[in-house]
Amino acid sequence: MKRDKGVIIWLLSGCVLVFIMVVVGGITRLTNSGLSMTDWHLVTDTFPPLSEEKWQHAFEEYKKFPEYQKINIHNNFTLDDYKYIYFWEWFHRLIGRVIGMVFIIPFIYFLLKNRIAPSTLKKCFVLLGMGALQGFFGWFMVKSGLIDDPDVSHFRLSLHLTFAFLTFAYTLWVALDLIYPERKAPVPVLRKWARIALIVLLIQIVYGGFVAGLNAGLVHNTWPLMSDGQLIHDSVFIERPTLLQNLTEGQSGVQFVHRTMAYVVVALILALYFKGKKLGVDAQQKQGLNALVIIVFLQFTLGVLTLLFRVPLWLGLTHQVVAFFLLTAMTYTLHRLSK
């Protein structure tokens, strides 16, 4: 595969922008800013309101929706408060526009210059589709909070978040294909364990979205046991009519799955690490495995602290950022074990 530094930098730039967008998305969620923009326009939303009159108009439109009518109307919510939450949602959408331009404009240039190999070109079209779909998922999520319930669906929030992680991981994978054009013999046993660990990590990310969407980090703020000294709190099974609903829609059930799955992720990564040491891996593979172990323990610790301190903004955001780093290390390691 042809190695083109310009194409590699372009793809890695996309990774960085997706990372920034997820960080800003986390701030948007943690500051309850996601429903501040009640409509979407490709051109007119590019800049925030530029006069007090336009700000007042936007604020009046916001007052027509459930978040203001059911929550903020009781909190002495002012225009200045509205400007604060508006900024984060506007900034989040702006980065989405920037990502679109950063992808499409260089893509057309590289395509016209015949600098993208056919195999990479197919992957770029997949990325283009993923970017468009992510924009739709964002609108789909916000829409759920503008009808009757002032909270967005936790299912849609998790879909939007997880797909951003997947888009990042796939973009990184395409870049790694160009960074390391040489072919290596795969390590089947380690590759199998890495794939299992990746799948479980993605499920954990999905449940991280559930926890965020349901504010499930605000209950059972003890560790290692849940409330009342219970390993599995009684409320895990009684919030919803069925077990499946409890584990996907109940605050206690969702938190229980997320905190339990953390142990599984750590165990799988440790198993992968020790199997790698036993079988003997090359320098790149060893770097990936070492990074995985360090980051997963950091992430586990942050998860515990986030729970104990009831999700302060900086801890919740840091926990999400390190999840991104963990997925990065996992993607790199699997890539190096697969070639």
Per-residue pLDDT at 192: 94
Per-residue pLDDT at 84: 95
Does position 300 have pLDDT exceeding 50, yes or no? yes
Per-residue pLDDT at 3: 72
pLDDT tens across 311-335, in order? Answer: 999 999 999 999 999 999 999 999 9
Point out the domain boundary residue: 137, 161, 181: 181
Considering the domain architecture, whether residues 209 and 256 belong to the same structural domain is answered as yes
SS3 297: helix
Per-residue pLDDT at 42: 57
Q: How does the average pLDDT of the chain come out, rounded?
A: 93
pLDDT tens across 177-230, in order? Answer: 999 988 777 788 999 999 999 999 999 999 999 999 999 999 999 999 999 999
Considering the domain architecture, whether residues 188 and 165 belong to the same structural domain is answered as no
Which domain covers residue 114, as residue numbers? 1-181
Considering the domain architecture, whether residues 27 and 158 belong to the same structural domain is answered as yes
Does position 2 have pLDDT exceeding 60, yes or no? no
Tokens 């015949």, located at residue: 114
What's the total number of domains in the chain? 2
Considering the domain architecture, whether residues 150 and 198 belong to the same structural domain is answered as no
Task: Name the strand (E) or helix (H) holding 18.
Answer: helix 5-30
Calpha distance 152→173 (Å, rounded): 31
Tokens 């499920």, located at residue: 203
Per-residue pLDDT at 38: 82
Calpha distance 274→283 (Å, rounded): 15
Per-residue pLDDT at 266: 98
Percent of the chain with pLDDT over 90: 82
Considering the domain architecture, whether residues 191 and 110 belong to the same structural domain is answered as no
Q: What is the band of 47 on the pLDDT scale with cuts at 50, 70, 90?
A: confident
Considering the domain architecture, whether residues 169 and 225 belong to the same structural domain is answered as no
Considering the domain architecture, whether residues 70 and 121 belong to the same structural domain is answered as yes
Token pair listed for 279: 């079988």
Q: Are 292 and 272 in contact (CB under 8 A)?
A: yes
Choice among 37-46, 290-299, 305-314 with the minimum mean pLDDT: 37-46
Considering the domain architecture, whether residues 1 and 114 belong to the same structural domain is answered as yes
Q: Are 233 and 252 in contact (CB under 8 A)?
A: yes
Point out the domain boundary residue: 181, 206, 233: 181
Considering the domain architecture, whether residues 80 and 32 belong to the same structural domain is answered as yes
Say what the alpha-carbon torsion angle 89, 94, 95, 98 is, to the nearest 10 degrees. 170
State the number of CA atoms in the 13 A half-sphere of 184 facing the CB: 17
Interval 79-105 mean pLDDT = 94
Does position 156 have pLDDT exceeding 50, yes or no? yes
Considering the domain architecture, whether residues 195 and 322 belong to the same structural domain is answered as yes
Q: What is the band of 1 on the pLDDT scale with cuts at 50, 70, 90?
A: very low
Interval 283-305 mean pLDDT = 97
State the number of CA atoms in the 13 A half-sphere of 218 facing the CB: 7
Considering the domain architecture, whether residues 171 and 189 belong to the same structural domain is answered as no
Point out the domain boundary residue: 181, 198, 223: 181
pLDDT tens across 252-261, in order? Answer: 999 999 999 9
Ordered DSSP codes for 240-277: SSSHHHHHHH-HHHHHHHHHHHHHHHHHHHHHHHHHHH
Per-residue pLDDT at 50: 87
Q: Are 86 and 33 in contact (CB under 8 A)?
A: yes
Calpha distance 272→274 (Å, rounded): 6
Calpha distance 102→13 (Å, rounded): 8
Per-residue pLDDT at 280: 83
Highest mean pLDDT among 140-154, 270-284, 288-302: 288-302
Considering the domain architecture, whether residues 156 and 11 belong to the same structural domain is answered as yes
